[in-house]
Structure 1
Amino acid sequence: MTSRFTELAIDCAEPHALARFWCAVLDYQVQDDGDDDGDVVTIGPAADGGEQVPGPVPPTLTFARVPEGKAAKNRLHLDLSPSDVDQDDEVRRVLALGARHADVGQTGDESWVCLADPEGNEFCVLAGRRP
């Protein structure tokens, strides 16, 4: 028996704001607002008329409010592979949505671009399927 990766939990200060950013980046939608306090928001792929999409289901992202702020470089991050534009166009699009460039010790020779979401969580935009 094996397990399947279905959800990534992300601690944050503003779950709804971060969920809106990632919905715009990934073309996801809010699937669950969690509780009345708005302390947990889950986003995932948009439903396609209620039908199961063939192939593996992409994981959902769950944003949970925590009192402490981000203190160091993430040890886990998302890699994005542009699906219908080149890397430069995707970087420009994501920056316009509220991301910013992040320095995590790059040399300048990488094939990926390191960015951070509005709360400082690093992620990379890849040039192709493999970094």
Structure 2
Amino acid sequence: MAPRKRRILMSNGSKVPRDPLTDARIRFVRMITCLEQDPLQRLITITNDLSKNKAAQKEVLDMLMKSTEEKHNGDLSLLSIEYMSDAIRCVACNKEKQQSSTPVRMPKRHSTANTSMQAVRNTHRYETRSQVKQKKPFP
């Protein structure tokens, strides 16, 4: 008996509708990333006290609506305060990294793109013109 051929599933290009919770999460993170540093710090202080769960959630949503001046139709209230606090901390951490990071310097002589092992092994044998110029002649 011949083995069966596997059917390869191809995408037809249609988008699957997202559930409202996913939409709320995406919208919440997008709204937080647009905030400035001061309102973001206030949101962090509110979410640090998780003992008052519903009150903290309402405070976060109210402050977010005041600072972004966007209206929401209640979809953000689907999010838990734990998710909100995690998202706020992640966005704050990413903003700090963006402000404090220095750009990465690429090596001048060697590009990292597709070098063969032979080329990598032989790079130490040859000197660049600048290295030759820097060397002092023997006295």
Scaled by the length of structure 1, the TM-score of the pair is 0.24
Structure 1 or 2: more helix by fraction: 2
Structure in which a larger fraction of residues adopt strand:
1
Higher-Rg structure is 2
